[in-house]
Amino acid sequence: MFQTLKNFYHKLGSYPWFYKISGKVIPFVGVLSISLIVISSIWGLFFSPIDAVQGDVYRIIYFHVPAVSVSQVIYYSMSVAAAVFLIWRMKMAGVYIKSLAPIGAAFTFIGLLSGAIWGQPTWGTWWVWDARLTSTLVLFLFYLAIIGMQSTFASRKSADTAVSIITLVGVVNLPIVKKSVDWWNTLHQPASISISGESSISNEMLIPLLLSILGVYFFVFFTGLLFMRAEISTREQNKEWFKKLSSNN
């Protein structure tokens, strides 16, 4: 078992292997993610029941929660990749961080924007400097820093190293984002979905929400693979294996 995992880990570091496998996986993940997003959006927007307190505006939840949830998960996975890059010097980890950072930034932005659109009618304001909103903005700024740093170094290796370090610095912010609503008085409400206990959102609303979360996770998997392939083809365009591959097609 351990040996299989170790083999998989070594293969993961190989550009040709990754390029071949990802090409096969992408169509399936793409179709799956788009259909999940379409189904859950239609379900959430038209068929799930209207909320007793907020009315129809609550339906923003079907975009807001998946976006902010995936933006945090992407950052966690990027910091694992950062540690792998710094310890094992696996180049694929650098590719992973560079490709996933714009996706994470985009979803953090969607989360902030959809939250503001929801906040205006419900709270009475677009933005308030409470702990949850501010720490999410900090997460967004870390993503921007990671993206910006990519192009400030002459060599790819020093860029990947510096970016890995800044990624690890930012990971400490994530538990703060998560726990801010419990630690301090905030305008933002605590979590409605609970994995261990009972969720405080009714099941008819929860099921399309879980589907939309799943859809967005697969969508990130899908775009992540696409972006990583693009990054690999930029880095390896003069390598023998890549030339051979492109001349075959």
Binding site for other proteins (CB under 8 A): 49-55, 58, 61, 82-83, 86-88, 121-125, 128-131, 165, 168-173, 176, 183-187, 189-192, 200-202, 204-205
Residue among 152 and 202 whose Cβ is closer to other proteins: 202
Tokens standing for residue 155: 């060599």
Residue among 2 and 129 whose Cβ is closer to other proteins: 129
Residue among 71 and 135 whose Cβ is closer to other proteins: 135
Residue 129 CB, nearest approach to other proteins (Å):
8
For 57, residues 6+ apart whose C-beta sits below 8 A from its C-beta are 118, 121, 122
Residue among 9 and 183 whose Cβ is closer to other proteins: 183
Residue 165 CB, nearest approach to other proteins (Å):
6
Distance in angstroms (rounded) separating the CA atoms of residues 88 and 86: 6
For 214, residues 6+ apart whose C-beta sits below 8 A from its C-beta are 36, 40
Residue among 86 and 117 whose Cβ is closer to other proteins: 86
Q: Which residue has the tokens 């259909």?
A: 35
Residue 221 CB, nearest approach to other proteins (Å):
26
Distance in angstroms (rounded) separating the CA atoms of residues 20 and 35: 25
From residue 192, how far is each of 138, 174, 198 by CA, in Å? 23, 18, 9
Residue 158 CB, nearest approach to other proteins (Å):
16
Residue 188 CB, nearest approach to other proteins (Å):
9
DSSP summary character for residue 190: P
Residue 124 CB, nearest approach to other proteins (Å):
3
Distance in angstroms (rounded) separating the CA atoms of residues 141 and 98: 15
Residue among 23 and 121 whose Cβ is closer to other proteins: 121
Asked if 195 and 69 touch (Cβ cutoff 8 Å), the reply is: no
- Provide DSSP, 46-95: IISPPBTTTBGGGGGHHHHHHHHHHHHHHHHHHHHHHHHHHHH--HHHHH
Q: Which residue has the tokens 């959006």?
A: 41
Residue 26 CB, nearest approach to other proteins (Å):
31
Residue among 197 and 249 whose Cβ is closer to other proteins: 197
